[in-house]
Amino acid sequence: MFTGLVQDVAIIEEIVRRGDSSVLTIKTRLAAMMGIGDSISINGVCLTATSIQGEAITVDVMVQTLKLSNIGSLVTGQSVNAELATRADSRLGGHIVQGHVDGVGRVITNEPGEKWQKFEVQIPQKLIKYVVNQGSICIDGVSLTVGIIDDKSCNVTLWLIPETLEKTTLGSRKIGDEVNIEVDVLAKYVERLIQVRGSQQ
């Protein structure tokens, strides 16, 4: 489990594509706190370290992850958001993030303001029902608070504060860029409970 509070902007050092899977080598200062088998969130995707050498970690990416996320479009030298799995004795500063991407959105607006940046993303239609005003959403591994929702266009507007701009890659995202979306798992649990209750009546 993660919190959506990015701990490092890591760099993709190498990508080896193997049929329907890939192996990524990522340079991150978080490697010093990891062991083989540990989980790390890369752009909101939970991946497992298979080897660690200095500041470089290697992770395997399976076909399902490549289909559901933007990991397959990464290139060598690209910056990515990285976060270690949260500890049971640490504060939950963001919200509950599983690292299981629900879909890929597209950046519509990334407009600098005086003290913040307007960030608008079009998300898949199937996910808009899980998004609520003032609720949480995870975009490329970053926990954000929802500002405005347009149900018709499936656009979600958020405002990036200076801390987010400094410590994540979102500020440099361009119009049309793909971003990983994970909606609040609590909303999905509520939907599932209602479905089961309805089927049992």
**Residue 72: what pLDDT?**
93
| pLDDT tens, residue by residue, 62-107 | 999 999 999 999 999 999 999 999 988 877 778 889 999 999 999 9
| pLDDT tens, residue by residue, 185-197 | 998 999 889 989 8
DSSP line for the chain: -B-S---EEEEEEEEEEETTEEEEEEE-GGGGG--TT-EEEETTEEEEEEEEETTEEEEEE-HHHHHHSSGGG--TT-EEEEEEPPPTTS---S--B-S---EEEEEEEEEE-SSSEEEEEE--GGGGGG--TT-EEEETTEEEE--EEETTTTEEEEEE-HHHHHHSSGGG--TT-EEEEEE-HHHHHHHHHHHHHHHH-
Query: In this prediction, what percent of the chain has a pLDDT beyond 90?
Result: 84
Of 190 and 168, the structure prediction assigns the larger pLDDT to 168
Of 154 and 116, the structure prediction assigns the larger pLDDT to 154
CATH number of 103-192: 2.40.30.20
Q: Which CATH architecture has domain 8-84?
A: Beta Barrel (2.40)
**Residue 138: what pLDDT?**
97
> CATH 2.40.30.20: which residues of the chain?
8-84, 103-192
**Residue 57: what pLDDT?**
98
| pLDDT tens, residue by residue, 130-154 | 999 999 999 999 999 999 999 999 9
**Residue 90: what pLDDT?**
79
- Give the pLDDT band (50/70/90) at residue 58: very high
Task: Indicate if the pLDDT at residue 5 is higher than 90.
Answer: yes
